[in-house]
Amino acid sequence: MRIAFLTAPEGVEEIELTEPWKAVVEAGWNPQLVSTKAGQVRAYRHLEKAGRFTVDHVLAGDTAEAFDALVLPGGVANPDALRMNSRAVGFVRSFFDAGKPVAAICHAAWMLVEADVVRGRTLTSWPSVATDVRNAGGTWVDEEVRVCHAAPATLVTSRKPADLDAFCRATVKEFGAT
């Protein structure tokens, strides 16, 4: 399986990228770092600069067609930048249109709100995003991990880095079920 990890050029929370990436690799799948610019993305540990990671694929009108599933890592800056990019928003929406599974952690739920795919779904996120989820027609819950099987696509969400073990387990389970 080919799994897209969508990040902005700067601002992704490092552990929210690296731990799901490792889980995907351990499942025997092929993760691909997708961004809006070529080169490398800068990760952070909260507000401190962390590692750099090489972009495998640059968005240019892409859809879910080339991938089997999507992971949206968080960090405050990452989804805040991505939701201002129409290509990134369209890319996220295309996974739901195609009925392909999506996993989002922490502030990444902002991308789901921007892509207008939360209406009628139950999900979790970083608590400050709860009002945005509700205003977009979703139901927000304060849970370690939430799997929503509402048609057309399965959605796995988690609140924060402390939830990564549960998030990674649920992501691998749900992605493997497709």
Nearest Cα residue to 161 out of 66, 56, 81, 46: 46
Angstrom CA distances, 137 to 30, 91, 130, 153, stand at 33, 21, 11, 16
107 given a catalytic annotation = yes
**Three-state secondary-structure class, residue 126:** coil
Cβ within 8 Å of residue 65, ≥6 positions away: 94, 98
Dist CA 67 CA 69 (whole Å): 6
Q: Which of 46, 106, 148, 149 is catalytic?
A: 106
Cβ within 8 Å of residue 84, ≥6 positions away: none
Is the CB of residue 96 less than 8 Å from the CB of residue 115?
yes
Q: Which of 57, 107, 149, 168 is catalytic?
A: 107
46 given a catalytic annotation = no
Q: Are strands 40-45 and 139-140 parallel, antiparallel or unpaired?
A: unpaired
Give the catalytic positions in this structure.
106-107
